Amino acid sequence: MEAPSVTVVIPAYNEGQRLPRFVERLVQVGLTVSTPAVEFVVVDDGSAPEHSSAQRACVESARARLAEAGSVHTFTYVAAERNGGKGSAIRLGWSRAAPQSEWLAFLDADGAINAEELFRLVKLSSAPESRSVDVLAGSRILMAGRRVVRSLARHLQGRIFATLTDLTFDLRFYDTQCGVKFIRAALLRPLLGVLNEQRWLLDVELLALLKRQGARCQEVPIDWEDFGGSKVIPGLDAARMFWGLLQLRRRLDRLALPSPSPR
């Protein structure tokens, strides 16, 4: 079996309805495109039993279908002991990644970023022009013919949060919260013991730490469509995130980081 080039962690909390459809599409596309090998790690983040059984079943079915077809791609199911949040689930998945993976990534389970876009980023990660890049981050920006479908309220909330994030951390990112990011494993693995955010602020924490390590980042415009059912609570989660930014800044200012790995 070919060693994976990319490990993609999909955190799943009570996604027994949406995840099976998304995994099915990932399998369909994965069997038709030519890309480096991808290891998908679905992390069940303490879901209710009925969701856990559906999530496990769809991953096991996907793994069997890919193996039968002789695909280079694989699926693995990991169950967290309890619900810890998106950040906690992603870190758990990364800790189980194949040691040969050159990129560690995560992808939201809701299908807002479709399978075609995910495999487009996988191809880009191995392209010659990406040799000088350490972070490939999806971005919901209407340019280069991309398609972004979301409510005006969600768009405005996102822009306000992005502005506050830039004022706090000077990341120079248009969209820190887009649900797909690829990070070079050599740069990320030394930071796994430092990452601490349990939920939505993992993206900001990750980008802030990588910036301090001198990471070379590239935002990639992608297609994105909101299918509803988001676990973000408008207003309440925004207030939590704004307060969380201040707390995160204080913590990172006191943090001693490991020396960057040579690239």
Residues 18 and 56: beta-carbon distance below 8 Å = no
Strands 135-139 and 180-184: antiparallel
DSSP E strand boundaries for the chain: 6-12, 38-44, 74-79, 103-107, 135-139, 148-149, 180-184, 217-221, 224-225
pTM: 0.89
What confidence score (pLDDT) does residue 236 get? 47
CATH 3.40.50.460 fits 6-253, yes or no: no
Nearest residue to 48 via CA among 16, 91, 86, 90: 16
CA atoms within 13 Å, Cβ hemisphere of 97: 31
Task: Tokens for 261, please give them.
Answer: 């790995």
Q: How far is CA 34 from the centre of its chain?
A: 21
| CA 198 – CA 140 distance, rounded (Å) | 23
Query: Tokens 């509803």 label which residue?
Result: 228
Instruction: Map out the domains of the chain as residue ranges.
Output: 6-253
Tens of pLDDT along the chain (263 residues) come to 678 899 999 999 999 999 999 999 999 999 999 999 999 999 999 999 999 999 999 999 999 999 999 999 999 999 999 999 999 999 999 999 999 999 999 999 999 999 999 999 999 999 998 999 999 999 987 665 566 766 666 666 667 777 778 778 888 888 888 899 999 999 999 999 999 988 888 999 999 999 988 999 999 999 988 766 555 555 445 667 777 888 888 888 887 766 665 55
Question: Within 13 A of 100's CA, how many CA atoms are on the CB side?
Answer: 9
> What pLDDT, on the 0 to 100 scale, is given for residue 242?
76
Closest alpha carbon to 55 in 93, 11, 92: 11
